[in-house]
């Protein structure tokens, strides 16, 4: 019989952290469901690492409480919390063999010697590095060291696995491989995990839930698709993916669709949300959601949300091309198009169409 | 013929400086093998006469023992105090940290004469006699800054993540220190001990103030002997001391390199 999963294995209740006078994390409430992988995503200095370190006990909350499995852990010392933590630069003990590194946490858990041996070799197999017990960390590559660090963290069967930018120090091609590795192992073990990163691709590809943070504040919380497709505010829309922003005012409403008068004089149809006539809004369109065709092949002049312009800049990226299109009224749009036949050149006249359902409306900030 | 370039002038200049620095030392070592009472060059013959005489000199041997005991105890105590102090300065924040650190390092900057007199006055004020304990305390004060500097420098280089990783894995702060910090710190601790041993072993000025007749150290003894006469025994003693103070750090360097290779 499947046990019911705890929707809040880790709970933050009004957690706030100040370093001196500097507010690192504003009052935050957050639940980490059992068995899930939750990513704290944001630029450096957004408070994501501080939040993680407070779970580990490496920082103490200035205010608020943190619960693991329903127990308040604010005053539980670090070494009694039963957590696994992975650091950006591996933090393998350089003076210990791989075996001693992985066995380190087991030594403090009253586990008989032969059992330790068994667990270590099983953990090493899990990270696909069997038989390296007698090597020293410096004899392994960066990617291998991080896998050992993963083995060291999971071998103690932690309540929560904490990962602080574990992929940032790795080479680009290794990063993808390691990401899959972590993803697989996390799912296989079903260990509740908190993953801190500034890389949106990592966050989008492996998370059950993403918490976007900025300025010590939680900006949005939700599944990857939810956060990507329905950004809650300008920051989230801007941080995740490439977005175009245009200010405008709601002119009229027809059911779920709105006619928006843009500040550059154009009119645009957008969908979603609940707005009134006269509301100041910001229209967001993802660069990938804009359609781009040659000007002369564009048939009807009265198509919805169709704008004409010229290619101002382009950068070819293999499978896709990133264009900056200057419209007739001077507005520049960022369009990312899949290369089907021949990419446009600088100066080519084009027609850009923004499907209304991909035009999201945000409240105008500030 | 080629004119000497600037570079070769520098080479010659450097060589001369080395000659100037090492000639007296070499002379001492050479003369220690000279059988004559009043050494002069060229040497007439070769003998271990003065070494044999030295080995039979009870006061010198006593002073040697004093020096060894004092140096070893100083090294142990200075590191025992220095390690936790360095930990506190590097790993924790507290009020008055900078002031305290400067205070502990100040014996390096204060002239030894002043230090020597100050400790004597202090002991007088406490109405205590001069003793071996006083000498030991004095030497610990003298050598502590070196231990602190060496250990602190190393500690700064040991990433905090190692300790954090150990703690998240279940090691208490003490266990973390013992199984992670201390082994990583070992080369610096070793170096600190050597520093304090050699400094204590070599010290004359302050020791002159603190030593009683019973616990004279070798340098102080030599100083005393020189006041009466210049015996070639001193040359032999000097050679032994050179051997000791040079070979010890060299051996230590070798050992720590072996260590470093072992741990990758």
CA distance B128 to B131: 9
Would the pLDDT of A341 be above 80? no
Of B162, B167, B168, the CB nearest to A93: B162
Predicted local distance difference test score (pLDDT) of residue B261: 57
Give tens-digit pLDDT for A11-25.
999 999 999 899 999
* Subunit contact A93:B171, Cβ cutoff 8 A: no
DSSP state of A113: H
Q: Name A58's Cβ contacts closer than 8 Å, sequence gap at least 6.
A: A78, B164, B167, B168
Q: Kindly state whether residues A58 and A204 are assigned to the same domain.
A: yes
Residue B32 vs residue A213, higher pLDDT: A213
Predicted local distance difference test score (pLDDT) of residue B3: 65
Q: Kindly state whether residues A215 and A290 are assigned to the same domain.
A: no
Chain B residue at shortest CA distance from A110: B170
According to DSSP, the residues that pair with A16 across neighbouring strands are A63
A221, A237, A253 - which closes a domain: A237
Q: Kindly state whether residues A124 and A252 are assigned to the same domain.
A: no
Could you tell me if B182 lies within 8 Å of chain A, comparing CB atoms? Answer: no
Q: Kindly state whether residues A169 and A214 are assigned to the same domain.
A: yes
pLDDT band with cut points at 50, 70 and 90 for residue B263: very low
Q: Kindly state whether residues A301 and A332 are assigned to the same domain.
A: yes
Q: Kindly state whether residues A147 and A190 are assigned to the same domain.
A: yes
Chain A residues close to B161, C-beta within 8 Å: 87, 89, 91
Q: Kindly state whether residues A166 and A313 are assigned to the same domain.
A: no
Q: Kindly state whether residues A99 and A44 are assigned to the same domain.
A: yes
Would the pLDDT of B233 be above 50? yes
Q: Kindly state whether residues A93 and A144 are assigned to the same domain.
A: yes
Would the pLDDT of A2 be above 60? no
Give tens-digit pLDDT for B109-166.
889 899 999 988 988 898 888 888 889 999 999 999 999 999 999 999 999 999 999 9
Residue A3 lies in a domain: no
Which residue out of A93, A138, A156, A194 would a mutagenesis test of the B interface target, given it has the greatest number of B Cβ atoms within 10 Å? A93
Burial A126-154 (b: 16+ CB within 10 A, else e): bbebeebbebbbeebeebbbbbbbbbbbb
Would the pLDDT of A170 be above 80? yes
A191, A218, A237 - which closes a domain: A237
Query: Count of A–B CB contacts within 8 Å?
Result: 73
CA distance A262 to A278: 12
Give tens-digit pLDDT for A183-201.
999 999 999 999 999 999 9
Q: Residue A17: which CATH number?
A: 3.40.50.300
Residue A1 lies in a domain: no
Q: Kindly state whether residues A172 and A224 are assigned to the same domain.
A: yes
DSSP state of A296: G
Residue A149 lies in a domain: yes
Asked whether the beta carbons of B237 and B222 are under 8 A apart, the reply is yes
CA distance A145 to B28: 55
Which residue out of A90, A91, A101 would a mutagenesis test of the B interface target, given it has the greatest number of B Cβ atoms within 10 Å? A91
CB atoms within 10 A of CB B230: 13
Residue A5 lies in a domain: no
* Subunit contact B164:A93, Cβ cutoff 8 A: no
A207, A237, A267 - which closes a domain: A237
Give tens-digit pLDDT for B236-257.
888 888 888 788 778 877 876 7
* Subunit contact A85:B171, Cβ cutoff 8 A: no
Q: Residue A268: which CATH number?
A: 2.40.50.140
Residue A201 lies in a domain: yes
Domain range for A277: 242-363
Residue A164 lies in a domain: yes
Chain A residue at shortest CA distance from B175: A108
Domain B57-262: top CATH class:
mainly alpha
Any idea where the domains of chain B sit in the sequence?
A: 57-262
Give tens-digit pLDDT for B79-115.
999 999 999 999 988 888 889 988 888 888 889 899 9
Q: Kindly state whether residues A101 and A182 are assigned to the same domain.
A: yes
Which residue out of B169, B189, B190 would a mutagenesis test of the A interface target, given it has the greatest number of A Cβ atoms within 10 Å? B169
Q: Model's pTM, two decimal places?
A: 0.81
Q: Kindly state whether residues A216 and A246 are assigned to the same domain.
A: no
Chain A residue at shortest CA distance from B168: A79
Chain B residues close to A165, C-beta within 8 Å: none
**What total number of domains does chain A contain?**
2
Residue A2 lies in a domain: no
């Amino acid at each position: 019989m499947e046990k019911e999963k705890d929707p809040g294995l880790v709970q933050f209740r009004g957690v706030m952290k100040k370093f001196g006078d500097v507010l690192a994390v504003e009052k935050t409430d957050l639940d980490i469901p059992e068995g899930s992988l939750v990513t704290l995503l944001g630029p450096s200095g957004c408070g994501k690492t501080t939040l993680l370190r407070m779970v580990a006990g490496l920082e103490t909350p200035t205010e608020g409480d943190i619960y693991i499995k329903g127990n308040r852990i604010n005053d539980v010392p670090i070494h009694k919390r039963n957590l696994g933590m992975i650091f950006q630069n591996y933090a393998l003990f350089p003076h210990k063999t791989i075996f001693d590194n992985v066995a380190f946490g087991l030594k403090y858990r009253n586990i008989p010697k032969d059992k330790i041996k068994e667990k270590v070799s099983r953990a090493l197999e899990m990270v696909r590095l069997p038989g390296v017990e007698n090597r020293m960390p410096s004899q392994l590559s960066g990617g291998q060291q991080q896998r050992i660090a993963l083995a060291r963290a999971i071998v103690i069967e932690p309540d929560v696995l904490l990962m602080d930018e574990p992929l940032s120090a790795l080479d680009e091609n290794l990063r993808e491989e390691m990401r899959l590795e972590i993803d697989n192992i996390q799912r296989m073990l079903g260990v509740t995990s908190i993953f801190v990163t500034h890389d949106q691709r990592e966050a989008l590809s492996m998370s059950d839930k993403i918490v976007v943070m900025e300025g010590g504040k939680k900006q949005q919380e939700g599944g990857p698709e939810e956060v990507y497709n329905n950004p809650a505010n300008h920051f989230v829309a801007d941080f995740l993916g490439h977005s175009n922003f245009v200010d405008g005012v709601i002119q009229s409403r027809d059911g779920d669709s709105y006619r928006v008068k843009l500040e550059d004089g154009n009119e645009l149809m957008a969908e979603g949300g609940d707005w009134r006539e006269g509301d100041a809004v910001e229209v967001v369109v993802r660069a990938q959601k804009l359609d781009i065709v040659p000007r002369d092949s564009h048939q009807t002049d009265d198509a919805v949300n169709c704008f004409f312009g010229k290619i101002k800049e382009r950068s070819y990226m293999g499978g896709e091309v990133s264009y900056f299109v200057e419209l007739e009224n001077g507005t520049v749009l960022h369009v990312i198009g899949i290369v089907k036949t021949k990419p446009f050149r600088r100066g080519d006249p084009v027609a850009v169409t923004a499907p209304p359902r991909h035009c999201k409306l945000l409240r105008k900030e500030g | 013929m080629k004119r000497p370039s600037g570079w070769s002038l520098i080479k010659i200049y450097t060589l001369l400086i080395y000659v100037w620095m090492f000639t007296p030392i070499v002379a001492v070592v050479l003369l220690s093998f000279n059988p004559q009472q009043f050494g002069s060059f060229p040497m007439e013959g070769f003998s271990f006469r003065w070494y044999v005489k030295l080995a039979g000199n009870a006061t010198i041997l006593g002073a040697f023992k004093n020096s060894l005991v004092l140096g070893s105890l100083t090294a142990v105590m200075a590191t025992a105090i220095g390690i936790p102090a360095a930990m506190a300065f590097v790993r924790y924040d507290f009020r008055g940290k900078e002031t305290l650190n400067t205070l502990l390092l100040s014996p390096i900057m204060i002239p030894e004469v002043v230090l020597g007199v100050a400790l004597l006055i202090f002991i007088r004020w406490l109405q205590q006699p001069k003793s071996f304990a006083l000498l030991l305390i004095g030497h610990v004060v003298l050598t502590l800054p070196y231990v602190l500097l060496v250990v602190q420098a190393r500690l700064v280089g040991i990433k905090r993540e190692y300790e954090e990783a150990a703690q998240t894995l279940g090691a208490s702060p003490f266990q973390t220190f013992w199984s992670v910090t201390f082994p990583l710190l070992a080369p610096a601790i070793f170096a600190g001990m050597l520093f304090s041993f050699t400094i204590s072993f070599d010290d004359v000025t302050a020791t002159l103030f603190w030593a009683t007749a019973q616990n004279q150290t070798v340098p102080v003894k030599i100083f005393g002997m020189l006041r009466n006469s210049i015996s070639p025994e001193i040359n032999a003693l000097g050679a032994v001391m050179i051997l000791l103070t040079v070979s010890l750090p060299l051996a230590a360097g070798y050992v720590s390199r072996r260590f470093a290779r072992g741990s990758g």
